[in-house]
Each structure stands twice: as structure tokens, then as C-alpha cells.
Amino acid sequence: MTRVVVLSGAGLSAESGLGTFRDAGGIWQKYDLEEVATPEGFARNPALVHEFYNARRANCLAARPNAAHHALAALQQRLGDRVTLVTQNIDDLLERAGAREVIHMHGQVMRAQCAHCGHRWDAPAVMDPSDPCPACEHPATRPDIVWFGEIPYHMDAIGAALAEAELFVAIGTSGSVYPAAGFVREAHINGARKLELNLEPSEGSALFDDTRLGPATEIVPLWVAEMLAAEG
Ligand code: APR
């Protein structure tokens, strides 16, 4: 009865047309992350930050889940709460593939929050700095995204899942941003097997027992099929 924790990154959604960050032509080569993905950048120029996330929200709305998203949803549907899906991605493609209770440790681009009162709600397609918060009416709305320098969400739940995991699988992540990049070590300490599914070796590949290289839409469905066959 294998308990699995799956950590996904931008590579899971790359074949759905959503950009990665550090590959050639990645998002951080087009935008200065200090300007669009930090609280300081938001304080300096909220309109620029909303413009950045409005564009990413539009890309997300136009995108469709790929075979890797569907495979992970099928794995969770079959194994239930023995599968914990943790993602660094802010898109909703796993949910749109049928996954439930996805742990978005970096937030969700389809959600908004109020920087004044903390209220959260489903984001409109286009957000603007002058939007009033639906709860306190302050014009302090921001995307419900965890920016650099902020504390990722759901770390307690992720730690609890890693403590129980017999298998830790990292999919489509460069392993360059903490705390997510440290989850493989936590899994190792807890005695879990560690598998990496990625297009190319990541910064943390040496920490995994096994690394399989290829596009997520090919190698993730193959891995899920193996898991479902083994679980009977
Ligand atoms: N299939 C599988 N893996 C892929 C594919 C693909 N089609 N395309 C790219 N990859 C891999 C790349 O080889 C790379 O290792 O996905 C990884 C993407 O790495 P990053 O661009 O660094 O994205 P990620 O690891 O998710 O970044 C982590 O950094 O900027 C922050 O908050 C942001 O959540 C993000 C975090």
C-alpha cells in the first residue's frame, strides 16, 4: 500500500503551453522577478505585477491539461489519499484534469487575496490595483501567489505527507528553489524511495534513486501505468 508524494514544477505544464522559468526562453529571462514576483516589486508598481499575472491567468485559461496531468489525476483517483499531489505551479490544470485537494505551495493564479484584510476569493480574469476587496473594500487586492521572500503555503501538510511517504516523485522541476528543492532530502531521511521524472537532469538529480528523462506527457503516463499495475 505505497504512500506517494508527488512534487511537480513548471515542466509538468510546459507541454500545455505554459512557460517554464529557467529553461532557455523561460519566464525569468523575459521578466525581472524582482519586479513582478516580490512584495517589494508589488509595493513599487502594483499595476506591473497585476499585468504580469493577468497575462499568466489568460495563458492558464487558454491552456488545457496534458496527458501528464490526466495520468496524475488517474493515479489519485485509484489510490485515493495514498497519493499527495504537491505542486509549485500556480495553474489549475491538475484540477481541470480531475485531481482533488492539490496542494499549491506557491499559490494559485486563479485566486486573489486582499493585502489589507487577508480575504481570499476566486480571481476575476483581469485584476487591477484599483479593485476594491470584496470584504473590506480597500483597494489592496493582489494575486494569491507566494512571492520570493514569502512563506510557501501548506508546509505543515507537506511535511506530514513526506513523513509518511514510501515514494517521493519529483516531476518537471529544476530543484533550484527552496523549500521545494529540499523535499527530496526530507523524503530520504524518512526512508522513502526517490524518483525524478524530468526533461533533463535537475540540480538535485544526484539525490534521487532513479531519474527518468523525457517529456512529462510521455514518461509520467508510463510511470503511472507501472504504479497502477503494481497496485493491482
Ligand atoms: N517535461 C518534463 N520536464 C520538463 C519539460 C517537459 N516537457 N519541459 C521542461 N522541463 C523541466 C526542465 O528540465 C526543468 O528542470 O522542468 C523544469 C523547469 O524548471 P523551472 O523552470 O526552474 O521551474 P520550477 O522548477 O517549477 O521552478 C520552481 O521557481 O520561479 C519560481 O515560483 C516559481 O514555482 C516556481 C519555482
The beta-strand segments (E) located in the chain are 4-8, 83-87, 103-104, 107-114, 120-122, 141-145, 167-171, 193-198, 210-213
**pLDDT tens for each residue of 50-70:** 999 999 999 999 999 999 999
CATH number belonging to the domain at 1-17+65-106+152-232, selected among 3.40.50.1220, 3.40.50.720, 3.30.590.10, 3.40.50.20: 3.40.50.1220
Atom of ligand 1 nearest to the CA of 22: 21
CA angle 132, 137, 140 (to 5 degrees): 55
Region 139-145: what's the mean pLDDT? 97
Q: In the CATH hierarchy, which top-level class contains the domain 19-62+107-145? A: alpha beta
**CB of 107 sitting under 6 A from ligand 1:** no
Note if 106 is an active site residue: yes
CA of 39 from ligand 1 middle (Å) equals: 22
Domain spans of the chain, in order of start: 1-17+65-106+152-232, 19-62+107-145
CA of 21 from ligand 1 middle (Å) equals: 6
d(CA 48, CA 57): 14
CA of 6 from ligand 1 middle (Å) equals: 14
Q: What is the pLDDT of residue 91?
A: 98
Judged against a pLDDT cut of 70, whether residue 231 lies above it is answered with yes
Of all residues in the chain, the percent with pLDDT exceeding 90 is 98
Q: Are 196 and 205 in contact (CB under 8 A)?
A: yes
**CB of 211 sitting under 6 A from ligand 1:** no
Q: What is the pLDDT of residue 1?
A: 66
Q: 485584476: which residue's cell?
A: 127
Helices (H) and strands (E) in the chain, counts: 9, 9
Candidate from 20, 91, 148 with most ligand 1 atoms within 8 A of CB, to mutate: 20
Q: What is the pLDDT of residue 2?
A: 84
pTM, entire model? 0.97
* pLDDT confidence tier of residue 232, bands split at 50, 70 and 90: confident
Judged against a pLDDT cut of 90, whether residue 99 lies above it is answered with yes
Judged against a pLDDT cut of 90, whether residue 184 lies above it is answered with yes
